Amino acid sequence: MDPIDIRHHEGQRFEAVFPEGRAVLDYQLAGGRLVIVHTGVPPELRGRGLAGQLVRAAFEHARAAGLRVEPRCSYAAEWSERHPEFADLLATG
């Protein structure tokens, strides 16, 4: 899987833009947490691993910024279960 150009809009969104559409991960900052609230990939872009790359970018950003991650989005929660190398970032309670 080739890396994609992911842009970060501070405090709200990671996105990757293609001619076919835009893949996004929306988040909120709350109490030292990066709360992932939505991951969306249009049907034309599915099957390329874009959602996973967006979630990875969010987790890597959180690590660099010293934040915990709260994956409220079902995709991000499932992704985090498959990637134990980021388990130390998960917010508890």
For the 7-89 domain, the top CATH level (class) is alpha beta
Residue 72: its pLDDT value, please?
Answer: 97
pLDDT per position as a tens digit, 43-72: 999 999 999 999 999 999 999 999 999 999
Burial 30-62 (b: 16+ CB within 10 A, else e): eeebbbbeebbbeeebeebebbbbbbbbbbebb
Residue 84 structure tokens: 């134990």
Residue 11: its pLDDT value, please?
Answer: 79
Query: Do 57 and 3 meet the contact criterion of CB atoms below 8 Å apart?
Result: no
Residue 3 has pLDDT above 90, yes or no: no
Residue 47: its pLDDT value, please?
Answer: 93
The number of beta carbons lying within 10 Å of the beta carbon of residue 24 is: 20
